[in-house]
Amino acid sequence: MLGRRQIREKVVETLYAHHQNPLKPEVSEKNMFSEIDKIYNLYVYQLNFLVALKYLAEQRIELGKNKFIKTEEDLNPNRKFIGNKALKQIEENEERISFTSKHKELTWDLHDDLLVKTFQRMTTGKRYQDFMQENGFSFDEDQKFIGKIFLRYIAENEDVHDYFEDREISWADDFHIANSMVQKTIGFLKENEPVHTLIKVIKDDADRDFGKKLLKTSIENWKENEQKISARLKNWELDRVSLIDKVILIAAISELDQFPQTASRIIINEYVEISKVFGTEKSNIFVNGILDKYSKDMNRIN
């Protein structure tokens, strides 16, 4: 799910877009949460990919049964993968099924080239081969195996990255969030305790309200916060500050002003880290210097 760090990142991204294409604040807010909601779609899409691998394995077994000349494997197929208990819980998750039924675009065609190629890579890989040869059906082993399969063939698969980015450009920045959500979903599974819900993208109303307020006050106080930045520049003009650095600082100053219950050092550290993601090589030093000076000037030293 999105933590406060990721919510701050989404606010910064939205402020950047808002500056380039000014919209009504409520429209920018709606767009931000729409982009956040898309992360849930990606999360379900990835879960569906795992389930589709199972369906593809089942299909191959059925095709083997219908061959005119059958091999020993066709007659006595190894069903360990399709019988994986952890994968079965994901398959039977009611929220996944319900959401997918309303979003058919998140289903996978079993003839999809990416799915077929991934299945072939998986089934010829040593990890899969070793798993299929192991005796017994332990839930813990099944769970660990599905976690490793997800990590190797989805989370770390560049072809999968490219596919998702082509489907939805914003997913390129959110892939790591959805990956974390899938890994947590697999990790939360327990034997004989089916989970019927999925992880929420935003934890609760408090986090959603945090994002709303931070975005709203950053937009409303843009000019005022620009002046606060300008007043703390040394031998430098505001128009020479890069837009992304300015946006990060405006969001950070808004949070320092509007959320006094959060320690200033936590806020500063968060935006310094965000500047490492979005800014230039030296953005973190610049952002840290301005925010440190501002917090001291405002006696925000907690």
CA dihedral (117, 122, 126, 132) positive or negative: negative
Of 162, 154, 164, 159, the closest CA to residue 186 belongs to 154
* pTM, to two decimals: 0.89
CA dihedral (67, 70, 74, 75) positive or negative: positive
- Burial call 165-186: b when 16+ CB within 10 Å, e when fewer: eeeeeebebbbebbbbbbeebb
pLDDT at residue 75 in the model: 64
Q: Which residues pair with 193 in a beta bridge?
A: 190
Of 26, 78, 42, 18, the closest CA to residue 161 belongs to 42
Please give the average pLDDT of every successive group of 10 residues along the chain, which has 302 residues. Answer: 91 96 95 95 98 96 74 74 96 97 97 97 95 88 97 96 94 92 96 92 95 98 96 89 97 97 96 95 95 92 70
Q: With contact defined as beta carbons under 8 Å apart, do 10 and 277 qualify?
A: no
CA distances from 278 to 9, 80, 92, 162, 243 (A): 9, 44, 39, 20, 11
- For CATH 1.10.940.10, list the domain ranges present in the chain: 221-297
Question: What values do phi and psi take at 261, rounded to 5?
Answer: -75, -15
Q: What is the CATH number of domain 221-297?
A: 1.10.940.10
CB atoms within 10 A of CB 125: 14
Q: With contact defined as beta carbons under 8 Å apart, do 276 and 11 qualify?
A: no
**Residue written as token pair 């660990």:** 144
Q: With contact defined as beta carbons under 8 Å apart, do 246 and 229 qualify?
A: yes
Residue 281 identity: E
Q: How far apart (Å, rounded) are the C-alpha atoms in residues 134 and 145? A: 12
Exposed (0-12), middle (13-18) or buried (19+): which is 66, by Cβ within 10 Å? exposed
pLDDT at residue 137 in the model: 78
